[in-house]
Amino acid sequence: MFKYHVLALLLGSILDFFLGRIYSIWNPFDSVKSLIKYLDRALLGDEIILLEPAKQKSLGLWLVMIVIMPVFVVSAFFTMLCYDIAIPVGILFEAFATYLCIETRYIYNSGKIIMEDFYGDGIDAMKYSYEIFSGKFSEGQDEEQVTKEAITFIANETSDWVLSPMLVMFLFGPVGGFVYRTIDMIDKAIGYKTYRYNHFGYAAATLNRIIDYIPGRFSGVVTVFVAKYILPGVNGKNAKYINIRDRFKAVSAFSGALELKLKNDLVGDDDKEAAPSDIKRAISLELCDFVFIQCILVILLLFF
C-alpha cells in the first residue's frame, strides 16, 4: 500500500509539472474559495464596528469549521470509495488529488512572466503581472522593490503550494492535502491583520500557524539543502544561516540563498541589490526543490 501511495504522489506531481493549471475544467478549490467569500459576507457583514471582538472571533471560528468539514468528509469519502473499487482507481484518484493540491508549474511560469514583462515592457508591466499572479497589490515603486515582492511570492508559495502539501500528503494522503490547502486558502483570505479581519481571522491565522509549523520548517530545510548542494549560483551557506536565524518557511532559505531581504524586509539581509534577473534564480531554486522531492519519491518507490 505504501508503494501505491508514493506512486500516486509521483504521478500527480509530474502531472502538475507538465500540465499546470487548466482553467477550462472545474477545480474544487474554486468552490472552496467561493464558499469562503460567501461566508465572509454572510457571517461578518459590513458593519463590523457593531460586533464585539469576541463575537468576531467566534464567527471566524464558525467559518473555519463550516469550510473545513465538507472538504474533510468529501475527500475522505472519495479516497476510501476509489480504493474500495480497485487499487488502480485509488491510485488515479490520489494522483489527481496531488495534481490539484500543488502548483509547481504555476509558480514557475508566474515568476518567468513577471521577469520577462519587466525586460519587455518595463516596471509597470512587471507590477501588473505580479498583481495578477499573486492576487496582491504591489507597493513597490521601483524594480528592486517589485523584484523583492515577486521573489517573496515565489518563495512563500513554494512552501505553501509545493513542498508543504507534498509532505502533508505523504503523511496523511489526499485528505491531508485537501485540508491543508483549504486552511491555507482561508488564512490567505481572512487571516491577515487588517481592520476587517483583525479578530474575525484570528482562528484561521492561528490554525494555519499550528498546522504549518512542521511543514513550513520542512520546506526551509529542503530549500537549504538544494541551495547548498545542488543548485549553483546561489549562496547555500547563507541560506542555512538565514533559515536558522529567521525561520520563516522557505522564504528565509530563499532570502539567504539569493542574499536579499524579503517579506517587506523582515527576513534576511541585503547583501546585494535586487535585480529582476534574481527572479530567474528564484524560480530555478523552486524548480530544483520540486525535482529533489521527485528524486526522493523515486528512491522510496524503488527501494521500499
Low-confidence ranges of the chain (pLDDT < 70): 47-50
DSSP 8-state code for residue 24: T
- Structural contact between residues 150 and 127, judged by C-beta atoms closer than 8 angstroms: no
Q: How many CA atoms are closer than 13 Å to the CA of 253, on its beta-carbon side?
A: 25
* pLDDT computed for residue 49 by the predictor: 64
How is the chain split into domains, by residue range?
A: 2-213
pTM above 0.75, yes or no: yes
Helices (H), the chain: 2-19, 28-39, 53-85, 87-101, 104-121, 123-134, 143-158, 164-190, 202-211, 213-229, 236-246, 249-258, 278-303
* pLDDT computed for residue 129 by the predictor: 92
* pLDDT computed for residue 50 by the predictor: 66
* pLDDT computed for residue 21 by the predictor: 83
Chain segment 44-87, per-residue pLDDT in tens: 877 666 678 888 899 999 999 999 999 999 999 999 999 999 99
